[in-house]
A and B are shown apart, each in its own frame.
Chain A
Amino acid sequence: MAEFNETDQTPTVDPKTPNLGDSTTSSQPKPEQITTIDVAVPIPDVGPQLQVVVEEFILKSGSDDEEVRTAATNELRDFIEHEEIGITTLLVVVKYAHEVKNVDLLDAFCERVADLIKDKKVVEVREIFGIVNDFTPGEEQALRYEHPWAFED
């Protein structure tokens, strides 16, 4: 009963992902764009504005001074809140943060993705993220019975 279909899905982010332009950021690849800050793993193409923000954040998050780090985190969260960053771009940064193991960066962007899921119905979330419902109606019903309290609304 408690099966975990791990072997069936080895999720990898499609390497072409960054190049799929979101309407909200100009993510046309610019070959001549050089990162001004030397990061060990280059930041994937997320559009010039966000790239600068992420680069600066990574730099500050490495600081020894806690106040610098806190201020940087607050700035980043403000930026994320006010700029409408497309879902694909958000996920690109999440994946990148995960790869370079920058916990604060991962936190800030995961939080944003979580915000997009909060207070939404299952069908709405599916639509936003393009998730395909691959349950049979019987399976879906069974799921609701597993956790009736979660679906009480």
Chain B
Amino acid sequence: MRKRARVARHKGGHHGLNPNDFISRMPDDILISILSRLPLKEAVTTSNLSSRWRYLWCQTYCLDFDANEKLDKIAVDSKLRVVERPKYINWVNRVTRQHKGPTIDDLRICFDLDKTSKGAIDKWVEFAVSKRVQKLELDFLENGEMLRQTPRNYVFPIKVFDRSLGLTVKRHALTMPKLVCKETEIKSLKSLFLKCVNVSEDTLAKLLTNCPALQQLSIHGSGDLVNVKISGKSLVLKYFEIVFCFGVKSIEIEDSNLESFSYLGPGITIKLNNLPRLEEISIGEGYSGFENNVFGQISCCISHLQILTLDIYRPEENIKFVSFPELPKLKQLILKVGAWDDDSLLEFTSLAKACPKLQRFVIQLIWMSPAKRRRKIRQAAKHPHKHLQLVEIVGYYGRTSDVELAVYFIENASSLQKIIIDPRYQVLERTPIGNDQLKKEKAARSCAKKQLEPRTPQGVDLVIL
């Protein structure tokens, strides 16, 4: 009845609907689908368009609380955090309270938050679970870019996921019935991405048991994990990642359908066994990247591996590359290498040589102390890379070693179609790039042009970003 009275107040029949206003006549779910694709702030401003639109945004199924601009400011002046943190928390609280839709696909919280905000964050996780969230992302990096001392991290609220304790969810009493969860399983969760959230072994085990649909799990910067074990054919887990969890001593993955595994951190014990679907591995252990006999650790998957990423921060001077095996099915080889002085990169071609089916080769150079030296371009032993179509040199500096590598592939890859050269500094930081850096990038770009354009054969597309 009150609704009728409201209508009467407005001019014109159907709220003054313009006959050309087709969009407002669309059914709610179409409009909600459109609004769910907008950044959250913009979705909310649509509430101002007209009365038809006023509450549509409340049913959005994507809640990405992105505050990148604020985080950039905090990175420059960390004192701002004191003021910005409560603002962020209020924002999330407000919006989650107003949300009316029955489900959410994505919830992403990304801010510098730690255990001092436990009360608020716990509620957000409960909210997500009650809305049957599919993808949950908690990114709590300090200043939005650094790892926090782990004792200060927020601890993952596994009790929200351990329904056997019979938790009731009491939110939005007016708009949602109280849910008394008798189920012990959280069937909706497919992806969980955690940064600077502490996850214990017990929590991990419970997550894998209580979330039968979990396909992607990434844990970054967590304390409390020591020995990680993933096993079981019933697991639908496809993607598993552990990054910079410094307490971890071992990772054992066996008898599962895992498709992609990623580890970055100190050298640890890695045991992989019976993983027939594991086609993608990304590994970076310790300083040289080859500590602990990486190829021995991943030996069970070598026969079917398709994509391999190796993080080699400080390549050892005399690495005996001869000792690694052939990777018969490998299609993509990605090397992340520290760029020191003008050290030759040709030794990495032996890795490429071990992959007869290689289609894409990427080397990402992280500028540590690169320097251009005048020396002769060396040649590595020739080798036909029959299937190699794409070569990417990311972080091209213009050193002789960079040119050497490009020339090697130009000369040896008969099927080469494209070379992509990215002359930019590769470490993403929140503080804006200084003039020094910009100058280096500009110099690198023009070096690339001078050095490579004349050497690129017909039929090969040279792209300099």
Interface, chain A (partner B; CB < 8 A): 2-9, 11-14, 17, 87-88, 91, 94-95, 98, 106, 110-111, 113-114, 117-119, 122, 125-126, 129-136, 140, 143-144, 146-147, 149-151
- Tell me the minimal C-beta distance from B155 to chain A in angstroms: 28
Of A9, A87, A122, A149, which contacts B48 at CB under 8 A? A122
Q: Is B47 an interface residue (CB 8 A)?
A: yes
Pick from A5, A98, A117, A150: contact of B6, CB under 8 Å: A5
Q: List the A residue with the shortest CB-CB distance to B32.
A: A110
Known: A2-B100, A149-B91. A131 touches B18 (CB 8 A): yes
**B174 near A14: Cβ-Cβ < 8 Å:** no
26 contacts between A and B (CB under 8 A): A2-B98, A4-B100, A5-B52, A11-B27, A11-B28, A13-B25, A13-B26, A88-B22, A91-B23, A98-B27, A106-B30, A110-B33, A114-B34, A117-B42, A118-B39, A129-B22, A130-B20, A131-B52, A132-B17, A134-B12, A134-B50, A144-B48, A147-B44, A149-B41, A150-B45, A151-B45
Contact B48 A131 (CB under 8 A): no
Query: In the complex the two chains form, is A11's CB within 8 Å of B26's CB?
Result: yes
Is the beta-carbon distance between B3 and A7 smaller than 8 angstroms? yes
**Does B16 lie at the interface of the complex (its beta carbon under 8 Å from any beta carbon of A)?**
yes
Pair B21/A143 contact, Cβ less than 8 Å: no
Residue B38 at the A interface, CB < 8 A?
yes
User: Does B53 make an interface contact (CB < 8 A)?
Assistant: yes
Find chain B residues with CB under 8 A from A4 CB: 55, 100
Cβ of B18 and Cβ of A130 under 8 Å apart?
yes
CA distance A2 to B306 in the complex (A): 53
CB atoms of A129 and B44 under 8 A apart: no
> Whole-angstrom distance between the alpha carbons of A151 and B44 in the complex?
9
Q: Residues of A contacting B28 with CB < 8 Å? A: 6, 11
Complex contact B25–A11 (CB within 8 A)? yes
- Evaluate contact between B25 and A14: CB separation under 8 angstroms: yes
Closest residue of chain A to B27 (Cβ to Cβ) is: A11
In the bound assembly, the distance between CA atoms of A65 and B340 in angstroms comes to 45
B54 sits at the interface (CB 8 A): yes
**Do B48 and A135 touch (CB < 8 A)?**
yes
Interface check B14, CB cutoff 8 A: yes
Query: When A106-B33, A110-B30, A149-B91 are in contact, do A5 and B51 touch as well, CB less than 8 Å?
Result: yes
Known pairs A113-B34, A134-B10 / 16 extra A-B pairs, C-beta < 8 Å: A4-B100, A9-B15, A11-B27, A88-B22, A91-B22, A94-B30, A117-B42, A118-B39, A122-B49, A130-B21, A131-B53, A132-B12, A135-B50, A136-B9, A140-B48, A143-B47
Identify which of residues 248-285 in chain B touch chain A, using a CB-to-CB cut-off of 8 Å: none
Contact between A8 and B15 (Cβ–Cβ < 8 Å)? yes
Contact indicator A150/B41 (Cβ below 8 Å): yes
Contact across chains for B18 and A110 when beta carbons are under 8 A apart:
no
Contact-size category for B: 35 or more
B389 at the interface (CB under 8 A from A): no
> Is B96 close to A, CB under 8 A?
no
Contact A132 B16 (CB under 8 A): yes
Q: How many A-B pairs with Cβ below 8 Å?
A: 137
Interface flags, B300-329, vs A, CB<8A=1, else 0 = 000000000000000000000000000000
- Decide yes or no whether B209 CB sits under 8 A from chain A: no
B15 touching A13 by the CB < 8 A rule? no
Closest 4 pairs between A and B when the two form their complex, measured CB to CB: A114-B37, A150-B44, A11-B25, A130-B21
B9 to chain A minimum Cβ distance, whole angstroms, is 8
Contact A134 B175 (CB under 8 A): no
User: Which one of A2, A11, A114, A132 lies within 8 Å of B38 (CB-CB)?
Assistant: A114
Q: In whole angstroms, what is the CA distance A151 to B260 when docked? A: 42
Is B412 in the interface zone, CB < 8 Å from A?
Answer: no
> Is the CB of B94 closer than 8 A to any CB of chain A?
yes
Cα A53 to Cα B52 with chains together (Å): 32
Q: Of A88, A94, A134, A151, which is within 8 A of B15 by CB?
A: A134
Tell me if A129 and B10 are in contact (CB < 8 A). Answer: no
Instruction: List, in ascending order, chain B residues with CB within 8 A of A117's CB.
Output: 34, 38, 42, 46
Which chain A positions have C-beta within 8 A of B33? 106, 110
B24 within 8 A of A: yes
Report the bound CA distance from A136 to B46 in whole Å: 16
**Are B7 and A8 closer than 8 Å at their CB atoms?**
yes
User: Are B23 and A129 closer than 8 Å at their CB atoms?
Assistant: yes
Nearest A residue to B37 by beta-carbon distance?
A: A114
Question: Roughly how many angstroms separate A102 CA and B218 CA in the complex, as a whole number?
Answer: 31
Which residue of chain A has the shortest Cβ distance to B9 in the bound complex? A136
Q: A residues within 8 A CB of B15?
A: 8-9, 132, 134
Set of chain B residues within 8 Å of A17, measured between Cβ atoms: 22
Contact status of A143 and B54, CB under 8 A, knowing A7-B3, A114-B38, A150-B41: yes
Min CB–CB distance B449 → chain A (angstroms):
29
Q: Is B11 an interface residue (CB 8 A)?
A: yes
The answer, yes or no, to whether B341 is at the interface (CB within 8 Å) is no
